[in-house]
Structure 1
Amino acid sequence: MPAQAPEAQGGRAPSAPLALDLRGVSKRFGAVQANDAVDFAVRPGEIRGLVGENGAGKSTLMAIASGLYAPDAGEIWVGGERRRLGSTEDAIALGINMVHQQFMLVDDCTVAQNVVLGQPGGPVLKMREVEAGVAELGERYGIEVEPRARVGSLTPTERQRIEILAALWRGRTVLILDEPTSVLAPADIAQLFTTMRRLAGEGCSVVFTSHKLREVIEVCDSISVMRRGKLVTTVPREEVDAEGLATLMVGKRLTEAADSSLVGLEDSEGAAAAA
């Protein structure tokens, strides 16, 4: 039986357990300390940004949260209970799903087949019912897809929609999006943000990792900043701008254009102009 969360830790109300609570999580790969005693917690219905330079530890932390990696130290709490995530299947069973930057789809299968691929009951599900369910789910969250289309014929934007639908099909407690706007046009980014807000309105927690800082500020309720494997701060979006986030990410005020490009300020400005 999973351990129960302490009734009062850090002022948390026992009636409102955190959707995801990583406590003192550490992970090392050889000589590289990817995560160093990281505390990261997300409330139900919150959209949380997670930013940091390349190599700051964002992807590793989210891989731990989604069961892809086991932490070397620390605890994982989900919904107020301590859990051990030995695999992505363990995380999925708790409603924690991650949409990776690199797509994990089978080109020869249809959209509907990819959505249920690898899920319990997948081989015995009636495909017509799956197709109808996928279409209904897409309509509910504003994700336009053709359930019978072959994935190999789709654009990167359409492929990402399938990845998100597959995650929503599996469960909607915590949705982790890793650099989801990197392949999207401005109109598609706006639609993604609408989907994220709709999910949050239903109580799903959304974690949004990105190097496009202005997008993070636009859509997130709060933003966590990682630097060299540590989580240095979490701030409400109203209290920070893109330049301030960049300073927190690198630990110093940016003075050159090259520094700005390293943390995505130039990309953010370009996206804002295109919109």
Structure 2
Amino acid sequence: MTDPILPLPLQWAAHLARDRRRSVHTVRAYRATAERLTAFLRAHWGGTVDAAALARITAADLRAFLAARRAEGLGNASAARELSAVRGFLAFVVPAAATPRLRGPRVKTGVPRPISPDEALALAGQVADDAAEPWIGARDWAVLLLLYGAGLRIGEAIALPARVLPLGDTLVVTGKRDKTRVVPLLPQVRAAIEHYAAQVPWALSADAPLFRGAKGGALSPGMIRRAVQAARGGLGLGDRTTPHALRHSFATHLLGRGADLRALQELLGHASLSSTQVYTAVDAAHLLDVYRNAHPRA
């Protein structure tokens, strides 16, 4: 139910955050899409854009909106996400009305490219070696090992509270939409986190973030991304070697060693098995690369 006092995009953002438990980044992006749509329609129709007006929106109106966005340089993948957000917004504002049928742009699904175990460890080691202080190097090493050794997303690792200490054989992780899962901790990963915790110059109270920035605040994911970007060039690793590539590598290497797809889905925290099935293609691509590089007649 909408509130006539708040603008419709703000109402939708509140619904996504409160009722759908979407992330801050998702809420911000979807709200921006709704604001762009209503602003476009205000100029396109030359009148007020309220729930009654949105109930009469046509496929031609949506095509005009997407055409305007494409003229601003929007690519296929971004246009598809924009259309998906628009559909969600319209369904929220006018749930009884049928959203006009409009086929989105074709999006070629990209296959994540993993890196080898040696490359993953070399990357984490280079980032740690490049750190300004020893405790920061220990922190970066621990964070990157969590991505590669436990399959965490960068946001999940950064969000860990200090109450996870002392560590056991498993770690409870809060993922997308506040869903929790239990992941096993390899001894090497546990040792890396404990080494960092022993060096960090701030008290790690239970409710405080485990991983701290240089000034004691919560560590920003951007700091880790920039550190990886700076380190990968010297190791001959490509632009697609990001912190998230370590999570891809975790999944691909487990699958290559015979891991069950359902078990991998649980470890990664995927809501749908289809999200995990992409790694079957990843593993095949990885094996083909190995074959081409090693076979004398490839």
| TM-score band, normalised by shorter chain | under 0.3
Greater C-alpha radius of gyration: 2
- Which structure has more relative contact order (CA 8 Å, sep 6+)? It is 1
> Which of the two has greater strand per residue?
1
> Which of the two has greater helix per residue?
2
TM-score by length of 2: 0.25
